């Protein structure tokens, strides 16, 4: 049995909330044989993948029992289930990617928005190929990663398609000024990277803010993170954090809310989008 993915855990948590005070046996009885309690338990605990038809039937049952199952919620949960059953382009890199990274790519493909805070690195969705290659090499802490650099660069660049697809992801990225002032032995690397930031920042679905180095002490100094948003149902939102040797997801509603509050504080403290573009332009002039 495969390990539960973030997608399945999100789905299970929402279904558990819809069940309310009812026991699994009570729901199974109300379903008139459509479900058994053990199957419901496996779906709620993400121990097995659900089928879209099962989710549709279960949501219909909860609606009949008086729960608020809007058309938007139904569409979101059924899509969540269907997407989980599909093979994305990243599956061809399964020998390269960790399960946590696969989850991130899958969630980016489904999300409506990403609100990102990065202390010292350009966000992956805005990196050039050369910058991606150098940062992957610089942060590689194992021979296994070093041997997969080319493939990891390909994956990082392929992820960026979510910003230019027909229904593009909305990205609002806040980054520390130090990320703009990094240096490299590769000629032109940072000049090109800053140019890409300016180009992507002109897209209607991309906003870039810079937190200046002169900013007072702030919550962002505790670490970088990204909030993946899924529209009006904020209880489906997920926070992704990444460290030197590991990455994890924050899924509890109160903790996701805390990260959202932290991101809003950082956005308020950062330069405006317009002033940020001016600073990036100025730094780029002095970058070779």
* Domains of the chain by residue range: 6-85, 94-126+159-285
pLDDT tens figures, 193-206: 999 999 999 999 99
Number of Cβ within a 10 Å radius of residue 284: 18
Pairing of strands 113-118, 225-229: antiparallel
Place of tokens 């910058």: 131
Q: Is 33 left (phi over 0), alpha (psi -120 to 50) or beta?
A: left
Place of tokens 């956005």: 267
Q: Say yes or no to pLDDT of 256 above 60.
A: yes
Confidence of residue 118 (pLDDT cuts 50, 70, 90): very high
- For 6-85, CATH gives 1.10.260
Helix (H, G, I), strand (E, B) or coil at 172: strand
Q: What is the pLDDT of residue 86?
A: 58
Measured CA to CA, the distance from residue 265 to residue 268 in angstroms comes to 5
Contacts of 144 (CB under 8 A, 6+ apart): none
Confidence of residue 261 (pLDDT cuts 50, 70, 90): very high
Is the distance from CB of 203 to CB of 163 less than 8 angstroms? yes
Pairing of strands 238-242, 225-229: antiparallel
Average pLDDT estimate for 257-273: 97
pLDDT tens figures, 24-67: 999 999 998 889 999 999 998 888 788 889 999 999 999 999 99
Pairing of strands 247-250, 238-242: antiparallel
Task: Enter the DSSP assignment of 139.
Answer: H
Kindly state the tokens that stand for 131. 């910058």
C-alpha R_g of the chain: 21
- Tell me which of 3.40.190.10, 3.30.830.10, 3.30.870.10, 3.40.50.1860 is the CATH number of domain 94-126+159-285: 3.30.870.10
Measured CA to CA, the distance from residue 105 to residue 125 in angstroms comes to 11
Average pLDDT estimate for 219-247: 89
- Give me the sign of the Cα torsion angle 52, 54, 59, 64: positive
pLDDT tens figures, 146-167: 889 999 999 999 999 999 999 9
Q: What is the pLDDT of residue 83?
A: 62
Measured CA to CA, the distance from residue 131 to residue 7 in angstroms comes to 30
Number of residues that this document lists for the chain: 288
Confidence of residue 211 (pLDDT cuts 50, 70, 90): very high
Kindly state the tokens that stand for 9. 């855990």
Residue 286: Cβ-neighbour burial (10 angstroms; 0-12, 13-18, 19+): exposed
Helix (H, G, I), strand (E, B) or coil at 249: strand
Backbone angles phi, psi at 277, to 5 degrees: -65, -40
Q: What is the pLDDT of residue 243?
A: 85
């Amino acid at each position: 049995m495969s390990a539960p993915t973030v997608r399945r855990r999100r789905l299970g948590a929402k279904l558990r909330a819809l069940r309310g005070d009812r026991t699994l046996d009570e729901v199974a009885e109300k379903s008139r044989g459509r479900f058994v309690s053990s199957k419901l338990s496996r779906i709620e605990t993400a121990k097995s993948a659900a089928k879209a038809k099962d989710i549709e039937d279960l949501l219909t049952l909860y609606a009949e029992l008086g729960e608020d199952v809007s058309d938007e919620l139904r569409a979101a949960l059924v899509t969540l289930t269907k997407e989980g059953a599909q093979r994305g382009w990243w599956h061809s890199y399964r020998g390269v990617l960790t399960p946590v990274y696969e989850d991130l790519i899958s969630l980016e493909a489904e999300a409506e928005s990403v609100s990102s805070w990065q202390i010292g690195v350009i966000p992956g969705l805005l990196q050039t190929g050369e910058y991606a290659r150098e940062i992957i090499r610089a942060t590689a802490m194992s021979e296994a990663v070093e041997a997969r650099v080319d493939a990891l660069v390909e994956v990082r660049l392929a992820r960026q398609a979510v910003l230019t697809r027909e229904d593009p992801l909305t990205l609002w990225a806040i980054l520390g000024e130090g990320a703009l002032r990094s240096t490299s032995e590769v000629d032109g690397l940072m000049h090109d990277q800053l140019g890409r930031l300016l180009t992507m920042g002109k897209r209607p679905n991309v906003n870039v803010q810079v937190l200046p180095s002169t900013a007072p002490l702030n919550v962002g100094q505790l670490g970088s993170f990204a909030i993946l948003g899924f529209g009006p149902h904020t209880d489906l939102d997920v926070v992704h954090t990444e460290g030197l040797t590991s990455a994890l997801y924050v899924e509890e509603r109160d903790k996701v809310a805390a990260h959202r509050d932290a991101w809003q504080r950082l956005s308020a403290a950062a330069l405006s989008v317009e002033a940020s573009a001016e600073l990036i332009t100025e730094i780029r002039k002095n970058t070779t």
